[in-house]
Amino acid sequence: MKVTFYGHACIGIEVSGKHILVDPFISGNEKASHIDITTLKADYILITHAHFDHIADVEVVAKNNDSVIVSNWEIANFFGNKGFKFHPMNHGGSWTFDFGKVKYVAAIHSSSFPDGTYAGNPGGFVIEGEHKNIYIAGDTALTMDMKLIPMRTKLDLAILPIGNCFTMDVEDAIMAADFVDCDKILGCHFDTFGFIVVDHDVAKKKFFDAGKDLMLLDIGSSISL
């Protein structure tokens, strides 16, 4: 399983010969200006919620790849009504795709489309595939619901927001890592805007002191599990 960080909360995952793109927001992120979205592969697009900084490039990527859009009922149907392939889910539900099993889990945040219309409740994803399991928290506060995840799935990686202001901060993300029983963390949702700038060295040291490994990847960089 290969995991690539495309900036903000946009993550690429390669598993079982399939390409997954999570929360495509690249063209609007000046820090990711070196990424050409027309070259991105995406058999599936997973969307945690409908804020602009998570769906801005969904349609371009989906058109280029004939992608299946996976999200909650409201978001999936929104894109389905535009003619895109889609698979709706909701909290607590799971589905086995050709790359592995996906479960849609709770997140504490807000969610609306850029025009302000209702977009259902935000969520996260647990992906079980190729003998490696990952948790994509989405934009969320720290929540006790995270403790439910390791009761069903042993994680190899947790992708957690750390930027504060709109999501968890570093300290809460360390607690979240404890809750999901995972010591290998990929940070996301940081530095894109002035509200969510973090000190990388301080953040990494706090995780290290807690016995955990926080990875803050350069945009376009990858890790293999």
Q: Which residues of 119-155 are buried (b: 16+ CB within 10 A; e: fewer)?
A: bbbbbbbbbbbeebbbbbbbbbebbeebeebeeebeb
How much is the average pLDDT of 159-170? 98
Indicate the pLDDT class of residue 155, thresholds 50, 70 and 90: very high
- pLDDT above 90 for 84: yes
CA angle (171 as vertex; 47, 173 as ends), nearest 5: 25
As beta bridge partners, residue 19 has 14
Tally helices (H) and strands (E) across the chain.
Answer: 6, 14
Taking each helix axis as running N to C, give the angle between helix 200-209 and helix 170-179, from 0 to 180 degrees, rounded to the nearest 10: 30
How high is the pLDDT of residue 170?
Answer: 98
How much is the average pLDDT of 193-217? 98
- pLDDT above 90 for 130: no
* Rounded-to-integer distance, Cα 181 and Cα 183, Å: 7
